[in-house]
Structure 1
Amino acid sequence: MAFETPTISIKLLIDQDSNAVLLAEAGNDFVDTLHSLLKLPLGNIVRLVDQHQSLQPGCLNNLYNSVQNLPLKNFRTEACKRMLLYPSNAHEVEFTKLKLNMDLTGPRGHFVCGNQLCNEKQGGWFSYYNTPICTCGGLMNVRATKLRESVAVKDETEGVLYKGESMFFITDDLRVLQGSTGDLIQILLNLGIKNVNSIEEKVVEFGSREMTHLLIHSLISKTTLTDAFLRKQGIGSSSLLLNKRLSFISPIIKETAEKDGRTRVKLMLRKSDMKLLYAEASEDFVDLVFSFLTIPRESALELILGAKCNLTLGSISNLFRDLNTMFSVSNQKNSQKGVLPPFYSSPNEFPNIRSRDPPEFCYYFAKRSSTFPFNTFYDSRVVNKPFDPKSPVPSTTNSSGYLEKNSFVITDDLVVKPLSLLSSISLLKELGILLDDVEQKVISIREVEAIALLGACLWSSSALSASLNFFAKKPKQEPL
C-alpha cells in the first residue's frame, strides 16, 4: 500500500464572474501550517521548492547549490556544511505535532562517543551531529537513545500551534481573519460582492505540493490564492514587479549612517555603464551570505520590513503581519530565547538573529553495584556538555563561522566559488568583458547593506546589482 501524505481540507469561495478566489475558510490546522512556513529556515524552503517546482524567485537556490558544490576543505568542520544544507529550526519539536509538517529536516539526533567510559564520566560530551571527534580521539557517532533533558520539558506548542479550535478566513492576498458567519458577510461586502449567486464553493485538499505552490506565489503575487489554484501562473510573469520592488534599496542606504562595516567586498564593474559584474571577498562576507540559509523566513521578513522603506512583498507581508499579531505573546518569548537553534549564529550575522542556549542533557546508564549481589544494577547519570559542531575541537561556546580562511568570487546571481588565479579571467571571458573595461571598487558591508542583500536574494535573480550597485556610483573608494 502506497504511503499517503497528510492533507488539510479548506473551502474556497470563488467569484465565477471574475474567476477569482474571494477568500478561503479554514480551521486552525491550516493556519498552524501557514505559521510553520514562516518559521522554516530559508535553506529548507529552497529544498521544499525544488521538490515541487523547477523555478523559484530570487537566487537563494544558487546560494544553496554553491554550498553543496563547495569542497569540504573550505568548511571548518564537516558539520558546518550539513548545518547550511539541512538547517534545523528552533521549533522542531512543535513541528512534529502539526497535521501537515512541511519541514524536510526533522528533529536532530543526539550523539555521544563510542567509548562508554567517556559517556559515564561527569562532563562528557554530546553532539547534534555524528561527525565530531571526542577528547579521547574517538568518533561521536553513537546515537544516544537514553539521552534526556535534565529539566522537565514544558509544553512547547505555544509559538507554532494555535491553541483551541477556531475558524479563519484567508483573503486572496493572505490576510488572516478570525471570525464568524457575520464577519463573512461584511468581508464579502467589503470586496464588492452583493449577489451571492455568483459565488461558487469548492473544497480543496492541501498537501505539501499545494502548500509549496501557495508559498511561492505569496512571494510575488497580490492574488495568491487565485494564482495558485485557478490561474496557476508561473513566476516569470512577475519580473517587472520584482525590479520595481527592489528600487527601495538605494533610499535605505542614503538615509542610514552607521559605523564602518564588518567586512569589505571588492566589486568588479564594467566602466562603460558601471554595471556590477561580480565580487571578490574573504570568508567573512561569504559566511554572512551563506548564513542566510539558516535564517527563518519570518526573521528575514522582520529585518526587511523593519528597514526604512515602503517595500511590499507579494502577499507574504500580509500573512506575516497578521500571524505575528495573533502569536504576538509567544513570538516575543521565542525572540528573547533566540530564533536559531544552538550554535547556529555566526559572528557576521545580524545582531538580532541569535542562537538559543543549548539545553542541559543527562546521559543515563546502568552501573553494576559493588555492594549488592553480582547481578544487581542501578541507574546512574552524568551531565553531558554540548559540543559546538562548528568547532574542530571540543567547545561549548558558539565559536565562529562556517568557513575556513579563503577568498571567493561571487557572481551577480550569488554563485559562490573559491577564488583562484584564473577564475576571474574565466568569468570575464564568460561575460564577454574586455580587460580595459573593468574597474574595481572596495565597499564596506554594514548591517543595512546586508539586509538589502538578504531582500534582493529573495526576490531578484541579480542580487548583487539590486542591493550593492548604488555603491558603484559613489565617488569615494575605500582602501582594501
Structure 2
Amino acid sequence: MLYILFLVLSRLDTMEPKEKPVQLKVYVDKKKTKVMFAEAEEDFVDILFSFFTLPLGIIARLSKSHADSKEIRVGSLTSLYESVVNLNAEHFSDKSYKDILVNPVHKSPSICQNLKVILDESWSLSKSGAVFVKNKTKFIITEDLNVVPVKLNTSIVLLNSLGVENINMLEERTIRFGFEEYVDLLMWSLLTNNPLTNLVLGGSKPCSSCVTNSILSNSAFISSNSGKNQTVTLIVQKSKKKLLCAEAEDLFVELLFSFLTIPLGSFFCLTKDDSTPLALTNLYNSISCLGERKYLRSEDVKNMLLCPKVAGYCPEVTDFLSMNGPKSYLRRFLKDPATFIVSDNLEVTASSIDTISTLNTLGVSVGDMEVLEVSIGEKEAPLLLKACLSSTSALTDFLNTLSEKTNGSI
C-alpha cells in the first residue's frame, strides 16, 4: 500500500501543470475607482493575443462553463451554442460534426500550447516561452486594452493622454493571472470597454452583450425579391414591429453553425469591424501596430492573429464566409434537408410538423402576424456574424443594419 501511494505521489510530482500563472502590475486611481494602466511582460501579452485564435464556439463554451452562478451571455452566440448542444445527434451527417461544433479546436495548437496559460481545457502545457511577441519586452496596457511597448517617448505620450500627472499618486497592485482570471478578462473584454477596471476592482457582473434595438425599423419590413441566395422566412408581430422567429432551411442553419468554428481574429477580419466600441477592438488594432514596429516574432504571427484560419478538419459548409481559399465542394454538418425555427437570439430548434402548434406557441394572434422573406448571401453573412456576437437580438439587429445599408430595401 505504501509503495502504491509512493507511485501516485511521484506521478503527481512529474505531471505538467495546466497553467503557469503570470503576474500583472496594475496602477489604480482610487479617487476615480479606475485602473489607469498596467505594466506587463511578453508572457501576459501573449495570452491576451491568444484570444484571437479561439473559435467562437470555445468562447461560448467558456462563457457557460465558467459562469457558475453568474449569467454570462455573449450576444446571441451563447444561445446558438446551446442549440447545438441540445440538438439531437440524429440531425448531423456525421457523429463527429456535433462534437466539432461543441468542442472546436483552433488551427495552431502546437504554437498556443507554449503559452503559460491556455484557455482550451482539453490541452496540456508544452514548453513555455515567447509565442507571439519578442522576448524580454515590457508593455503598458490601458484599461481598454491598448497595448504599447514601454519606451520613454511612447510612455510619456500615453500617460499624458490618460491624464496621469504623477504616477506616485496611484496605488500599485500585483495581480496573479491564471486560467480563471484570463477567462474573466476575456468575458469582460467582450462585454465592456473597461475590462481591467471591472476585473481588478470587481465591477458589476457582465450579463450580456448590448441589445442594440429589439424593435424592427419601418424600412426593415420590406421583403426581398432576390432568389439568388438563401431565403429565410420571417414571422413578425405587426403591432409591435417585433421579430417573433424565422423559418429556415438547413442551409441557413449550416451558416449559423459555422460561426462556432470561426476564430475571434477572423471575426474581425470578416466583418471589417472597426466601429464596435469594445476593448477587444483596441487589442486587435494593437497587433497591427506592434507588427509594423517589429515587436511581433514574425509577419506570419501577425497574420495568424489578425485573420486565423479555421481548423482543417472543420467542414466548409458555406462559401459565404470562406477563409481557407476556394473549395472544390462543400460538405454538410446536417444530414438531410430539413426545416428549422430560429429565434431572434439565434436559438435553433428542429421545426415541428404541426405548424399550427408552432404558431400557437408564439402567443400572438394570427391576424397580428406578417410573413416576410429576406435573402442572405455573401454580402449579408458578415452582418449576421457581427450581430451574433454583439446583440442578444441578433436577427432584429441584422435586419435593421441590412436595411440601413440597402437604403430600406432588404
TM-score (norm 2): 0.81
Find 2:155's aligned residue among 162, 166, 184.
184
The question of 1:73 aligning with 2:40 is answered: no
| 1: CA distance, partners of 2:329 / 2:304 | 19
Q: Partner residue of 1:344? A: 314
Q: Partner residue of 2:287? A: 323
Find 1:243's aligned residue among 202, 205, 212.
212
Q: Partner residue of 1:136? A: none
The question of 1:14 aligning with 2:28 is answered: yes
Q: Residue 100 of structure 1: SS of its match in structure 2?
A: coil
Q: Residue 23 of structure 1: SS of its match in structure 2?
A: strand
Change (3 A) 1:27 1:442: same
Q: Partner residue of 1:445? A: 376
| 1: CA distance, partners of 2:372 / 2:334 | 24
Change (3 A) 1:250 1:166: farther
Bigger mean CA offset, 228-237 vs 75-84: 228-237
| 2: CA distance, partners of 1:212 / 1:338 | 20
| 2: CA distance, partners of 1:476 / 1:322 | 36
Aligned-pair CA distance for 1:163: 3.0
| 2: CA distance, partners of 1:181 / 1:477 | 53
Q: Partner residue of 2:339? A: 407
Q: Partner residue of 2:255? A: 288
Is residue 269–residue 307 contact of structure 2 (8 Å, CA) maintained in 1?
Answer: no
Q: Partner residue of 2:363? A: 432
| 2: CA distance, partners of 1:91 / 1:250 | 45
Aligned-pair CA distance for 1:455: 1.3
Q: How many equivalent residue pairs?
A: 378
Equivalences for 1:20-419 in 2 at 5 Å? Answer: 20-53=34-67, 54-106=71-123, 161-180=132-151, 183-236=154-207, 239=210, 242-243=211-212, 261-306=228-273, 311-327=275-291, 329-331=299-301, 334=304, 339-354=309-324, 399-404=330-335, 405-419=337-351
Could you tell me which runs of 5 or more consecutive residues in structure 1 were left unpaired when the two chains were aligned: 108-156, 358-396
Change (3 A) 1:326 1:184: closer
Q: Residue 269 of structure 1: SS of its match in structure 2?
A: strand
| 2: CA distance, partners of 1:317 / 1:475 | 27
Change (3 A) 1:343 1:165: same
Is residue 15–residue 199 contact of structure 1 (8 Å, CA) maintained in 2?
Answer: yes
Amino acid at match of 1:297: L
Q: Residue 212 of structure 2: SS of its match in structure 1?
A: helix
Find 2:389's aligned residue among 446, 451, 458.
458
Could you tell me which runs of 5 or more consecutive residues in structure 2 were left unpaired when the two chains were aligned: 1-8, 293-298
| 2: CA distance, partners of 1:454 / 1:250 | 23
| 1: CA distance, partners of 2:282 / 2:25 | 20
Q: Which has the larger radius of gyration?
A: 1
Change (3 A) 1:356 1:450: closer
Is residue 340–residue 355 contact of structure 1 (8 Å, CA) maintained in 2?
Answer: no
Q: Residue 278 of structure 1: SS of its match in structure 2?
A: strand
Identity %: 31
Aligned-pair CA distance for 1:51: 2.4
| 2: CA distance, partners of 1:337 / 1:268 | 36
Aligned-pair CA distance for 1:5: 4.2
Amino acid at match of 1:354: N
CA RMSD between the two structures: 3.6
Amino acid at match of 1:273: K
Amino acid at match of 1:74: H
- The CA deviation string for residues 116-135 of structure 1, in whole angstroms up to 9 with x for no partner, is xxxxxxxxxxxxxxxxxxxx
Aligned-pair CA distance for 1:277: 0.8
Aligned-pair CA distance for 1:166: 0.5
Which stretches of structure 1, 4 residues or longer, exceed 6 Å deviation after superposition? 1-4, 335-338, 470-478
| 2: CA distance, partners of 1:439 / 1:294 | 34
Is residue 265–residue 444 contact of structure 1 (8 Å, CA) maintained in 2?
Answer: yes
Change (3 A) 1:188 1:163: closer
Aligned-pair CA distance for 1:327: 4.3
Change (3 A) 1:303 1:25: same
Aligned-pair CA distance for 1:266: 0.7
Is residue 220–residue 238 contact of structure 1 (8 Å, CA) maintained in 2?
Answer: yes
Q: Residue 172 of structure 2: SS of its match in structure 1?
A: strand
Is residue 208–residue 392 contact of structure 2 (8 Å, CA) maintained in 1?
Answer: no
